């Protein structure tokens, strides 16, 4: 039997037909592929397909450009312009209330020193010893810093070291912030959590929930007592070390809390870091949130960026993994498929929120905020704009 036919059968999900004598032959199935599909991949002889051409069919490299766009970047003015000695990063989505736009973000002061200084009071990362701040704008370019909305907790609380990476959801007249927390001391092996706070006003005051709404899985085993996050006896689940970048999406009458997981004893793969996304689902916005049995739901992506679209959930995956720099879509909010490969993608995206993104596939990426990281001390927020390139 022609190997090309077998490969096509497997790649297009037809492998079950190989042993089914009552099914059409593989040649018939190949013949059922529209000619334009071969034309799209520039395949002139379907009976002689290279491995690259076969992958193009499997991974839909030749899809139309509906989900494709490119990005430009613009410096912000006012209080969110780069300021020496100040770290501003991880902007939330941008919301509009009474014609004023608001964004929430991580803010910390001073340089960071990393681990191993022997002084637990020293700032470890740029997002260490952070609080969550808010700024307002009327044009999306010039911003006025309004103030702090989430403080670090009291000594001994689960959020006493740092609160950072916020995301905002407006639901039934209330403003809900989800964000990461770290309890002191900040060590290599520390496990963070996700918290929630709410307010009746975009500028606060915000009321913190007393307990975290999401924690790392407790199924990995460290090896020895050295503060080394790579030494493990057992790696555990994809989120056995960290749960980062929480983002809430109301979906199908429930609340989907998407997040990034980091694994204890993280290894490098042929695609880079072991970073994947998960989702936890609740009937009520305050929780309890239960992790999906399908986790992890991606094999790529760093900071989480998701939005509702066409009855499902779309996501922009950048930074890590074999499918980084793609935009994907899941009809059920869980089983994501690649819709387009992108380039020059923004990091830590905060979308300009609208009541609906159903205008077109990439309307949600029309503009928003992201962060620029050029050194540990030079981390600030910029504006991105997505556009359809002109191809003559």
Residues 133 and 100: beta-carbon distance below 8 Å: no
**CA angle, residues 377, 379, 382, in degrees to nearest 5:** 155
Give yes or no: residues 29 and 86 share one domain: no
Q: CB 235: neighbour CB atoms within 10 A?
A: 17
Residue with token string 């959930």 = 313
In the structure, what pLDDT confidence band is assigned to residue 18 with cuts at 50, 70 and 90? very low
CATH of the domain at 204: 2.115.10.20
d(CA 168, CA 180): 13
Does 21 lie in the same domain as 8? yes
What's the CA gap between 177 and 246, in Å, rounded? 9
Contact 239, 215 (CB under 8 A): no
Domain match, 189 and 298 both: yes
Based on the fold, state whether residues 150 and 10 are members of the same structural domain.
no
In this structure, the answer to whether residues 54 and 40 fall within a common structural domain is yes
Q: Which residue has the tokens 């900040």?
A: 186
CB 285 within 8 A of CB 168: no
Mark whether 263 and 232 lie in a shared domain.
yes
Q: How many CA atoms lie within 13 A of 378 on its CB side?
A: 4
- Kindly state whether residue 392 falls inside one of the protein's structural domains: no
Does residue 172 surpass a pLDDT of 80? yes
From CA 195, how far away is CA 207, in angstroms rounded? Answer: 11
Give the count of domains, the chain.
Answer: 2
Give the percent of the chain with pLDDT over 90: 76
State pLDDT tens for residues 269-308.
Answer: 877 889 999 999 999 999 999 999 999 999 999 999 999 9
Q: Would you give the DSSP letter of residue 209?
A: P
- CB of 24 closer than 8 Å to CB of 46: no
Which residue's structure tokens are 């009071």?
Answer: 121
Both 257 and 383 in one domain: the answer is yes
Would you place residue 28 in the very low, low, confident or very high pLDDT band (cuts 50, 70, 90)? low
**Could you tell me if 167 and 56 lie in one domain?**
no
CB atoms within 10 A of CB 5: 20
Q: Assess whether pLDDT exceeds 70 at residue 246.
A: yes
Decide: 137 and 100 in contact? Cβ < 8 Å: yes
Q: How far is CA 154 from CA 54, 151, 157, in A?
A: 58, 9, 6
Q: Distance (Å, rounded) from C-alpha 171 to C-alpha 76?
A: 28
Helix (H) or strand (E) holding 350, with range, is strand 350-351
What is the reported pLDDT for 185?
Answer: 94
Hey, what are 252's tokens?
Answer: 């199908």
Identify whether residues 117 and 225 lie together within a single domain.
Answer: yes
* Residue at which a domain ends, from 11, 44, 62: 62
- DSSP class of residue 14 equals -
Residue ending a domain, choose from 12, 44, 62: 62
CA 309/CA 29 separation, integer angstroms: 33
CB atoms within 10 A of CB 65: 12
- Could you tell me the pTM of the whole model? 0.90
For the cut 50, the answer to whether the pLDDT of residue 22 exceeds it is no
* 29 and 93, same domain (yes or no): no
Averaged pLDDT, 111-121:
91
Could you tell me the residue range of the domain that residue 127 belongs to? 67-387
């Amino acid at each position: 039997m022609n190997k090309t036919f077998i490969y096509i059968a497997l790649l297009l999900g037809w492998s079950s037909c190989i042993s089914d004598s009552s099914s059409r032959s593989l040649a018939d199935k190949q013949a059922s592929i529209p000619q334009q599909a071969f034309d799209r991949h520039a395949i002139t002889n379907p009976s002689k397909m290279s491995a690259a051409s076969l992958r193009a069919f499997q991974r839909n490299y030749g899809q139309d450009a509906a989900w494709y766009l490119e990005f430009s970047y613009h410096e912000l003015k006012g209080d969110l312009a780069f300021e020496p000695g100040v770290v501003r990063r991880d902007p939330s989505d941008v919301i509009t209330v009474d014609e004023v736009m608001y964004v929430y973000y991580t803010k910390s002061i001073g340089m960071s020193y990393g681990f191993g200084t022997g002084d637990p009071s020293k700032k470890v990362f740029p997002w260490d010893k952070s609080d969550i701040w808010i700024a307002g704008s009327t044009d999306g370019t010039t911003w006025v810093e309004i103030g702090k909305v989430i403080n670090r907790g009291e000594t001994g609380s689960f959020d006493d070291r740092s609160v950072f990476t916020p995301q905002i959801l407006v639901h039934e007249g209330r403003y809900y912030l989800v964000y990461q927390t770290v309890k002191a001391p900040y060590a290599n092996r520390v496990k963070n959590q996700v918290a929630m706070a709410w307010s009746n006003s975009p500028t606060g005051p915000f009321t913190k929930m007393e307990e975290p709404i999401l924690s790392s899985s407790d199924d990995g085993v460290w090896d020895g007592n050295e503060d080394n996050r790579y030494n493990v006896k057992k790696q555990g689940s994809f989120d056995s070390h960290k749960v980062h970048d929480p983002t809430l999406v109301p979906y199908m009458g429930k609340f989907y809390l998407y997040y990034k997981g980091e694994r204890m004893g993280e290894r490098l793969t042929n695609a880079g870091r072991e970073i994947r996304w998960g989702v936890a689902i609740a009937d009520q916005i305050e929780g309890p949130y239960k992790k999906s049995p399908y986790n992890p739901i991606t094999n790529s992506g760093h900071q989480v960026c998701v939005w509702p679209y066409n009855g499902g959930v779309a996501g922009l995956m950048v930074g890590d993994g074999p499918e980084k720099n793609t935009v994907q879509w899941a009809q059920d909010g869980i089983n994501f498929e690649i819709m387009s490969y992108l380039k020059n993608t923004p990091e830590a995206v905060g979308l300009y929120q609208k009541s609906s993104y159903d205008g077109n596939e990439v309307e949600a990426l029309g503009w928003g905020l992201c962060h620029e990281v050029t050194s540990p001390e030079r981390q600030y927020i910029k504006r991105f704009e997505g556009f359809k390139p002109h191809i003559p």
